[in-house]
A and B are shown apart, each in its own frame.
Chain A
Amino acid sequence: MNITLKYFSWIRVKLKKSHDLIEFNQTISFKELKNNLISKDAIYQEIFEDKSVKFFLNLKEIDDENQTLNNGDILAFLPPVTGG
């Protein structure tokens, strides 16, 4: 299954990319994805440890780390917003 990751603001700058498409052989939870990303790149450790960063799955904020991710899902990484 495929999951699209979208990065914004300082996260996009730090990772030097605006998105990723990642593949998994089976369904995983948000927590498992988090651990997977941290094991690949230490930058993700900093991102996930920052309590001000919010994660939106298909435009809805994630409030449970055990939430399951499905094929075609879009997970966005959002630092605190600064519009207006």
Chain B
Amino acid sequence: MIKITNESFDLETELKNVSSDTNGAYSFFLGTVRSDLSSSNKKIKGIYLECYEELALVQLKKIRSKALNNWKLNECLIIHRIGKLDLGEKIVLVITASSHRANAIKACEFVIDSLKVDVAFWKFHLLDNDEKETVLQKNLDNVKMLKWKDIIN
């Protein structure tokens, strides 16, 4: 299941959506809006998430398919929020389900690492006076992604 939404989600409900008695393990990643400083050292009030939805859905389907195939998952759920989010709000949820924990954990890490560098979402910091600051991609995220190149075709 893949969802791009401007509404929040409930963890227990989403877990039920992927639950099955064939699963012996679930791995979760939940990303939230943290209190952060802008490039000019101002405290942010929240974030705004922009998305090219048609492209993001295609990219997320590819990532999900790779995760399902490489780690023999029973299910993989990805939800990503868009729009204005306050501090502490949920941004992204990944749940991977498999027979054994190792596959679920690895696949979950792969999905979120891929999502960081390969899917058409852009963050802005929200500052006072309705000011928005573009968040730049971290090189560390690209470096992390390199480790999957030998594992995923």
Interface residues of A (CB under 8 A from B): 6, 8-10, 12-13, 52, 56, 59, 76, 78-84
Q: Which residues of B contact A56 (CB under 8 A)?
A: 55
Q: Is the CB of A84 within 8 A of B115?
A: yes
Question: Which of A10, A52, A59 interacts with B134 by CB under 8 Å?
Answer: A10
Q: Is the CB of A82 within 8 A of B122?
A: yes
B interface size (C-beta, 8 A): 28
Residues on B with beta carbons closer than 8 Å to the beta carbon of A84: 31, 80, 91-92, 112, 115-116, 119, 121
Q: Which residues of A contact B80 (CB under 8 A)?
A: 83-84
Q: Return the contact of B122 from the options A52, A59, A76, A83 (Cβ within 8 A).
A: A83
Contact B120–A81 (Cβ < 8 Å): yes
**A81: contacting residue among B58, B121, B124, CB under 8 A:** B121
Does residue B25 face the partner (Cβ distance < 8 Å to A)? no
Closest to B123 in A: A82
A78 touches B120 (CB 8 A): yes
Q: How far is the CA of A52 from the CA of B50 in the complex (A)?
A: 18
Residues on the A chain within 8 Å of B55, using CB: 56, 59, 76, 78
A residues less than 8 Å from B52 (CB atoms): 6, 8, 76, 78
Which chain B residue shows the least CB distance to A74? B54
Please name 7 pairs of A and B residues whose Cβ atoms are closer than 8 Å in the assembled complex, sorted by A: A6-B52, A12-B50, A59-B54, A82-B137, A83-B49, A83-B122, A84-B121
